[in-house]
Amino acid sequence: MKTFVGAKIHGIRVTDKSVEYNGSVSVCQTLLAEAGMEAFERVDVVNLTTGARWTTYLLPDEECGRFSLNGGGARLGEIGDQCVLMTWNEEESFSGAQVIFCDESNRIRERMSYTNPMVLR
């Protein structure tokens, strides 16, 4: 099996952080649904502002546009930092991935899909 990107939310900005929380990242459930991501799914977080990268899991948040760093991950970013969230699929070949681009308010600015050109032949 190989590991391929499953879904991606690009340019999401940190709106909140809580070191006292037990861990994970909290993400607007609308963005999760649009990207095809699920609650408690493993996710890599890349902080584009600082270069930090870590693995955690997703928690849905009812507040529109919210993206919170929780637990130890809260020490890896500040409010306003721009990040990328990526999930992964283990499959024999890459079939595609949904990508969501966020604006400054964490609303969907653009959608696109990654596709495998070898599958299209």
Q: What is the mean pLDDT of each run of 10 residues along the chain (121 residues)?
A: 92 96 92 96 97 97 96 96 95 85 97 72 44
Residue among 18, 57, 95, 105 flagged as catalytic: 57
Instruction: Encode burial over 2-24: b for 16+ CB neighbours within 10 A, e otherwise.
Output: eebbbbbbbbbbbbebeeebeeb
Q: Where along the chain do its domains lie?
A: 2-114
Considering the segment(s) 2-114 as one domain, its CATH architecture is Beta Barrel (2.40)
Choosing from 18, 21, 24, 105, which is the catalytic residue? 24
Structure confidence at residue 121 (pLDDT): 44
105 belongs to the catalytic site? no
- Please say if 24 is a catalytic residue: yes
CA distance 47 to 54: 9
What is the per-residue pLDDT for 117? Answer: 64
Give Cα 7 distance to the centre of its chain: 8
| pLDDT of 8 | 97
